Amino acid sequence: MTSRKIFLTEDEMPRQWYNILADIKMNPPLGPDGNPVGPDSLAPVFPMNLIEQEVSTERWITIPDEVLDILTTWRPSPLVRARNLEKALGTPAKIYYKNESVSPAGSHKPNTAVAQAYYNKEFGIKKLTTETGAGQWGSALSYACSQFGLECKIFMVRISFDQKPYRKSMMGAWGGNCIPSPSDQTRAGRDALAKDPNTPGSLGIAISEAIECAVTDESGETRYALGSVLNHVMLHQTIIGLEARKQFEKVGDYPDVIIGCAGGGSNFAGIAFPFVYDKIHGKDIEIYPVEPMGCPTMTKAPFVYDHGDTAKYTPLLAMHSLGHAFVPPPFHAGGLRYHGMAPTVSQLVCEGIVTPRAVSQLSTFEAGVLFARSEGIIPAPESNHAIACVIEEANKAKEEGKEKVILFNLSGHGLLDLAGYDRFFAGELSNILMNDDDLKASEAVFADYPKPAILKHD
């Protein structure tokens, strides 16, 4: 019998991250004047060592020993064969998942939080500000800051602040200071409240608040940290896929299909980019980022230049975007409520190297419940999007009678998202869709912006 879990030893952990910028071409971020922004203009927001990573085109970047040391608290994470799920589906497909729920915060997010806290500390920074949607990133960064003795202030999207009280408790346990966004502490927050005092908030608004809070701190010892979207965040997450590749080698297997849910794109990038490298170099793999139908960034929105935040503090990024003013409907996968998509993931979508999919809210909870009852782990509502797609693929393999190998990323557990499960069981959830009129209205904001070039890798 083949083993259910495939482990690496700490000695076998990858020692370098994979930087996809070595293998694809990208439209540069643009400043207010329409010209590419230089690294210096980002200096009030991020420490220079992370800015250098953001623009680096080196294929392999060494993971500092101090970062590896803390990652070994829970890494390498197991690669698990979901045999019970296979049985429940009666599929000939082999389903594997990378279990990223084993980290202290319960998701993949500490992989980059630890690295970012380390580089800020190295640069002499004392305090980090950030935003959080479902609370996953805020808790991951609070944890990471506690490891390096940094202060942490978190602007949490109002609807999640109300729906997920225990995430606040986690941030507090690690010493983080969490407040609901929009708040009255920043100009961006006050503007949003003036427009709509009952707004559920959005990641776009919370990002604006966190950036403003960092750049207006006169001590110069505060910087901002982002949990997804940017190149250096994708880079830090590639440890997931690099480990998975080694684990597959150990059992002499290799995936035909790779699936990850995508909000800003980081856990998807983490599991997929090392395999994108293989695909660019000739491997035949299908790669699916999965998003909610209620926030259909890749499947419905165009590839444009747009801001990453509502108050337009960030440079223009070339990405799929629903418009920086878009406030996604209050569905339960808070981590997927973002108007944009990582520029790297967007570029891969444009080139057809990865193929986006969208799933409905009810199908994601059905998938999560089937996973919990077969595999045991109760997944995060975000991860359920990946699982819904896995089930579609496993059923397709059954119809076709093919023994496909499917790999997905279990980006986190759902033990702090049980209110969403309760509402599902009570029949209170529905499928949230976006119609074409809403889509057009939300996209009006970038009509006058420059358009990105259509680029192709060599």
Residue 265 in contact with ligand PLP, rule: CB under 6 A? yes
Residue 315 in contact with ligand PLP, rule: CB under 6 A? no
99: β partners: 410
Least Cβ distance, residue 99 to ligand PLP (angstroms): 12
Q: With 0-12 CB in 10 A as exposed, 13-18 as middle and 19+ as buried, what is 266?
A: buried
Length of the chain: 458
Instruction: Kindly tell me which residue out of 383, 384, 388, 443 binds ligand PLP, with binding defined by CB under 6 A.
Output: 383
What gap in Å lies between CA 397 and CA 404, rounded to an integer? 7
What gap in Å lies between CA 322 and CA 328, rounded to an integer? 9
Residue 142 in contact with ligand PLP, rule: CB under 6 A? no
Instruction: Kindly tell me which residue out of 209, 212, 256, 382 binds ligand PLP, with binding defined by CB under 6 A.
Output: 382
Residue 151 contacts residue 128 (beta carbons within 8 Å): yes
Least Cβ distance, residue 428 to ligand PLP (angstroms): 22
Measured from the CB atom, the residue of 215 and 372 that comes closer to ligand PLP is 372
Mask: binding to ligand PLP, 334-353, rule CB under 6 A, as x and -?
Answer: -xx-----------------
What gap in Å lies between CA 357 and CA 334, rounded to an integer? 18
Residue 412 in contact with ligand PLP, rule: CB under 6 A? yes
Measured from the CB atom, the residue of 17 and 404 that comes closer to ligand PLP is 17
Instruction: Kindly tell me which residue out of 50, 70, 259, 261 binds ligand PLP, with binding defined by CB under 6 A.
Output: 261
Q: How would you classify the pairing of strands 94-99 and 127-132?
A: unpaired
Kindly state the tokens that stand for 36.
């590419």
Instruction: Kindly tell me which residue out of 110, 182, 263, 356 binds ligand PLP, with binding defined by CB under 6 A.
Output: 263
What gap in Å lies between CA 90 and CA 57, rounded to an integer? 44
Residue 328 in contact with ligand PLP, rule: CB under 6 A? no
Residue 170 in contact with ligand PLP, rule: CB under 6 A? no
Residue 173 contacts residue 106 (beta carbons within 8 Å): no
Residue 107 in contact with ligand PLP, rule: CB under 6 A? yes
Residue 290 contacts residue 358 (beta carbons within 8 Å): yes
Region of 59-67, 240-248, 264-272, 427-435 interacting with ligand PLP (CB under 6 A): 264-272
Least Cβ distance, residue 33 to ligand PLP (angstroms): 30
Q: What is the DSSP code (8-state) at residue 76?
A: S
Kindly state the tokens that stand for 12.
């076998």
Residues of the chain by 3-state class (helix, strand, coil), percent to 5:
45, 15, 40
Least Cβ distance, residue 179 to ligand PLP (angstroms): 19
Least Cβ distance, residue 323 to ligand PLP (angstroms): 19
Helix, strand or coil, per DSSP, at residue 410: strand
Phi, psi of 93 (to 5 degrees): -70, 150
In the complex, which residues of this chain contact ligand PLP (CB under 6 A)? 107, 109, 134, 136-137, 228, 261-268, 335-336, 380, 382-383, 411-412
